[in-house]
Structure 1
Amino acid sequence: MQLEGLIAYLVSQKDVCGKKAMQKLVYFCSEAGVLISARYRMYIYGPYSNEVAEELVDAISDGIVKVDNNGFFSKGINCDKYLEQYKSDIELNVNKIDKVLKTFGDFSPSSLELYATVHFIASSKKHAYGQVGEVVINDVIKAKGRKFTPEQIKDAYNDLVNQGWLAQE
């Protein structure tokens, strides 16, 4: 699915609170199985994709997305045109995208950062070493310093497991 189509659908469903939140929602869409051309790496605020950042700039200039004075992204004047253009891709992926919006759509940017970071590190560790659990929690603490408490990290990890975003140990 083209990123501009995904971004158009996301803002057509709800206003998104800033770049960080948009990055994380697109990340979780990818993790839910929406095939997009974006590579993620760990960055200051969790998983980050240059491709998503560049596409968001283009989406603003193309009128897919508009930004208000508080940094919220909402439907731009050309959003409906892009929704129509990518209608078939959206229909193929709507259940996956809506799952992301249902689970994470009302999260603050900070909570999205926490959950996406926990998910990214847990997925990387599981893939590379088969390790999860305490190792992941310790790595998130190392990556985030004092930004989140160990309890917040454990709660996010457990929520992701309980909601099926991470495998049970």
Structure 2
Amino acid sequence: MAATEELRHSILATCVKRARKKPGRTAMMKYAYLLQTLRGVPLGYRFRLYNYGPYDEDVLTDVRMATNSGMLKSTFVTYNNGYGYEFELGEQFGDNEADVATTVAKYDEDISWLMDKFGDESAARLELISTIFFAICDKTRQREKDELVGVVHEIKPHFSKETIGSTIDELSEELNCVNCGSDL
């Protein structure tokens, strides 16, 4: 396994381990995006805007590979409005936990920060949060709040401008440290 692939799988498995609730695919995607964009973790993903916010197919490929190797376990779940997947640690995680801990040690604080800040968020809220950061990183110039609300609302019209604005206010500390490092 390549070093980047090992880091990615280890970080994703560690996120699942530390998550307060079983994350789905959207949450896993946003965890990777937020770690790379806000904390500078060198995952090497190339995110672009998609239906549920920032997206890179390679994240789902890495989740599938970690599942196929037994590091993660995927469960199909149904909801009132559709279906999805939830992830938990797989049987092979325990056998590899020491190696995983060594691999992610340098980023342990970043993963803890992610879970402290965003570990309780729903997939829909993670979608909004990551889209706000994506909109900030889309331009090199600083945007005023009203302009940022408008841009995010154009991308995600199912969120009200009030919800977007209050989320921006809640994220003010994180907005000041945005890395926008798409080549990490």
TM-score, normalised by the number of residues in structure 1: 0.89
| Equivalent residue, structure 2, for 1:129 | 141
- Matched position secondary structure for 1:16: coil
Query: Contact between 1:46 and 1:116, CA under 8 Å: does it hold in 2?
Result: yes
Q: Is the 8 A contact 2:75 2:87 kept in 1?
A: yes
1:63 aligns with 2:74: no
Matches within 5 A, 1:26-105: 26-30=32-36, 31-70=38-77, 71-105=85-119
What's the Cα RMSD here? 1.7
1:24 aligns with 2:30: yes
- Identical residues among aligned pairs (%): 25
Higher relative contact order (CA 8 A, sep 6+): 2
Maintained 8 Å contact 1:46/1:114 = yes
| Structure 1 runs not aligned, ≥5 long | none
Aligned to 1:149: 160
TM-score by length of 2: 0.82
C-alpha separation in 1, matches of 2:55 and 2:96: 24
Unpaired runs of 5+ residues, structure 2, are 78-84, 178-184
Q: Is 2:24 the partner of 1:7?
A: no
CA distance, structure 1, for counterparts of residue 143 and residue 76 of structure 2 = 43
Aligned-partner residue type, residue 46 of structure 2 = R
Per mean C-alpha deviation after superposition, the further-off stretch among 102-111 and 132-141 is 132-141
